[in-house]
Amino acid sequence: MKLFEALGFRWDRAVIPSHMATHSIERVCFRFHKMLPEFVWDAGVLEGNPFTFPEVKTLLDGITVGGRKISDQEQILNLVESSKYLLKLVRGGQFSLDKATFTHLHSLVARNEALEWGHFRGEGDEWNYTPDVGLGEHGRHTPLPTIKGGANLDDAFRLGVDALNLDVPDPFERGAAFFLFGALQQFFFDGNKRTSRFMMNGVLMSHGIDAISISAAKAQAFNEKMIRFYLHRDGSEMMQFLVDCHPEAGQIRVPNPQS
């Protein structure tokens, strides 16, 4: 099966950088750990979480924040725990682009938030509900249906990851494509984009590339571009956006399509 057919979307491969700075695993993990408050706050903003950056730092210090909903606080704490788990995997050389890693990360990201967490839709007790993604005035994106046992999603995941591993040797392209793949297919009832971004960063850091965070300042642009991605099934714009969000974006070279 061809790559784009297996993933359910396409992109212009010319937007992929021809060179990205790589560092030691220790170096990229140090940066991720140091930037943890920013990563968690940025991710929370994308979800509409009202916690401020100082409040996120307070939670990371182990101090509760008054006046906030328990659900909002738990979402932030889930992001913290997920980040630390991803860091542990990468540091230990145990990160893998596979279902076991994906579902375990989801069990941390979406705990007590999603309808079910830690397995694909249909693999648990609920198989009558299929979630969709609101696209504002453009309607809704509806993924593969939830069916008992989740065999359709399991097959889609296997085909997509096999295609990525076979046809996408570049780690940046593979990680970015997996993020969009997870966001499009909606393997879980909720928390798909968050979990898929963790997987993307796992791929990047495992290859010595700094992790990417979608800054709070770019939240609106992110949402607008994701809507166009869902509508047109073209990941080119989002791929370029992720390049621009990389901490070393100014040093990244993209091939000249006319060369």
Q: How far apart are CA 115 and CA 117, in angstroms?
A: 7
Name the pTM for this structure.
0.95
Report the percentage of the chain scoring pLDDT > 70.
Answer: 97
d(CA 104, CA 158): 16
Contacts of 249 (CB under 8 A, 6+ apart): 243
Tokens for 45, please give them. Answer: 């903003």
The model's pLDDT over 226-256, given as tens digits with 9 standing for 90+, comes to: 999 999 999 999 999 999 999 988 777 555 5
Residue pLDDT, tens place only, 95-140: 999 999 999 999 999 999 999 999 999 999 999 999 999 999 999 9
Domains of the chain, first to last: 3-251 (1.10.3290.10)
Percent helix, strand and coil across the chain, each rounded to 5?
Answer: 60, 5, 40
d(CA 98, CA 186): 16
pLDDT of residue 227: 98
**Mean pLDDT over each residue of the chain, to the nearest integer:** 95
pLDDT at 187 exceeding the cut of 90: yes
Cα(214)–Cα(228) distance, integer angstroms: 17
pLDDT recorded at residue 254: 58
Mean pLDDT of 160-164: 98
Q: How would residue 259 be classed by pLDDT, with cut points 50, 70 and 90?
A: very low
User: DSSP of 2-64, one letter per residue?
Assistant: -HHHHHT-B--GGGS-SB-----HHHHHHHHHHTHHHHHHHHHHHTT----HHHHHHHHTT--
pLDDT digits (tens, 9 = 90+) for 61-81: 999 888 999 999 999 999 999
Percent of the chain with pLDDT over 90: 92
Please, are residues 191 and 117 in contact by the beta-carbon 8 Å criterion? Answer: yes
200 vs 202: CA distance, rounded Å: 5
> What does the radius of gyration of the chain's CA atoms come to, in whole angstroms?
18
Residue 257 has pLDDT above 80, yes or no: no
pLDDT at position 18: 84
Instruction: Indicate the pLDDT class of residue 258, thresholds 50, 70 and 90.
Output: very low
Mean pLDDT of 195-222: 97
Average pLDDT over residues 151-156: 98
